[in-house]
Amino acid sequence: MTGATRRPLIGVPAMWSAKVQGMRFAGAAVAVAVLASIDRAGGEPVALFPGSSESAADQLARLDGVVIPGGADIDPRRYGSEPDEHYWPADHPGQDDYEAALLQACLDSGIPTLAICRGMQLLNVVHGGTLLGHLEPGAIQHRGAEHPVACVPGTLLASVLGTDPVRTSSYHHQAVDRVGEGLRVAATSPDGVIEALEVPDAALLAVQWHPEDLAAESPSDHALFSWVVEAARTRLAPGPAHLQTNNLEVLSS
């Protein structure tokens, strides 16, 4: 196949796990729902090894797009805090460093990127922002629940999802506190929790919810994966079309 016609390759960093069912030793896991959502949108998911000896930039050179999925908590010491009884660390001590380097390489290269939950929080931390260590249950449940999210008009996210509230599947106990430098808020929940971030003029969407949970039935969640796959496909095409990545509209408002 030519570069213009093959399925876009979408890299997904795996979570180094101390135990994976069916394996005798440690494994590297990626949620099947994330892989299936990329496949459903027309992309070919590629799991990325967090212990690779290759640089993030070299890994990206073979890819057309990236999805950074949810997972364990980010080490609070990265944003000037300390672990508490709610802290759920990654099994691999280098997971945060690996994904932070990958995320920065995505921004440097301009490769289309969708960051989910932990991925959005890491984006904020990489840009000097902070996180709330633990959300206490309130009027809106954020862990293991569905709730509406409203996109901010004029954002890239709003061009993909529209401005009417969308239903989201939420599973997190941390949240963005101080927004990192150079980021803009793209969506919030009714209780004011920041639900999406963007980097102006970058081909990147970062959402706090888990679009893979409902992507098979929810047009708005499927649209996020379609956006990253189609932006990657546009980047593959010859000529100047790849410069128009940020103008793609997947779901009309």
Residues forming the active site? 117, 210, 212
* DSSP strand pairing (65-68 vs 9-13): parallel
- Strand residue runs (E) in the chain: 9-13, 15-17, 27-29, 44-48, 65-68, 113-116, 131-132, 143-151, 166-171, 175-176, 184-188, 194-198, 204-207
Q: Which two tokens stand for residue 77?
A: 């010491």
2 phi/psi in degrees, rounded to 5: -80, 165
Residue 19's identity, in one-letter code, is K
* DSSP strand pairing (9-13 vs 44-48): parallel
